[in-house]
Amino acid sequence: MSENTTPAGTAPTLLDRVPVVPVVVLHDVEHAVPVARALVAGGLPVIELTLRTPAALEAVERIAAEVPEILVGAGTIVSPRQAKEAADAGAQFLVSPGSTPSLLAAMDDTGLPSLPGVATVSEVLDLLERGWQEMKFFPAEASGGQGFLRAVSSPVPAARFCPTGGISPDNAPGYLALPNVGCVGGSWITPADALEAGDWDRVADLARAAAAL
């Protein structure tokens, strides 16, 4: 499982590439390439496509094939089957909202970097024992937010997090200031109305502002 974690002192890891990972829900596969290019133009060359819609896997394929300058990942991985499907589609990293032994094994089997989800100290310790140091903290705001992460930073300094769930431009700076947070995940960069309207300039502007956090 060593491929899923990078020892301190080596870089970059998933958590060190951008301050905000855009978490994107696409209903129209034709939006995949334009939104990816808009994010790159705005200075956020990472995208997490959530596997919540029928368009998601094809969107991963298109971005992987046509926008090589962006790191494309698949999120909301909730089953071993999805982990394999995402990898086969060309995903370059995987993100799950939680973690079970079978899900962790499936993500590990893909050979891709991954951010398994945690919401408790016991889950953090379990992932550390399995070799993961980088994790998704989800749902961040509902699970204690910045206070939780601040509290675990001293007793569990090896764990690093990408908080997602309830993150906004207003609270993102507070999360990013914590020593155990490498980046945050947010959906505000690609609002549904902008995607529906094909307003890629707006997406690029939102990405530009997020990249500056």
Write out the catalytic residue numbers. Answer: 48, 136
How far apart, in whole angstroms, are the C-alpha atoms of residue 48 and residue 126? 24
Under 8 Å between Cβ of 132 and 15: no
Q: How far apart are CA 9 and CA 17, in angstroms?
A: 15
119 touches 138 (CB < 8 A): yes
What tokens appear for 42 in the block? Answer: 């705005």
Report the SS3 class of residue 160: strand
Token representation of residue 171: 């609270």
Q: Is 94 helix (H, G, I), strand (E, B) or coil?
A: strand
CA-closest candidate to residue 86, choices 105, 69, 110, 119? 110
Instruction: Name the DSSP class of 185.
Output: E
In 102-209, DSSP assigns E strands to 114-115, 117-118, 134-137, 160-163, 184-186
Pairwise CA distance, residues 203 & 115, whole Å: 25
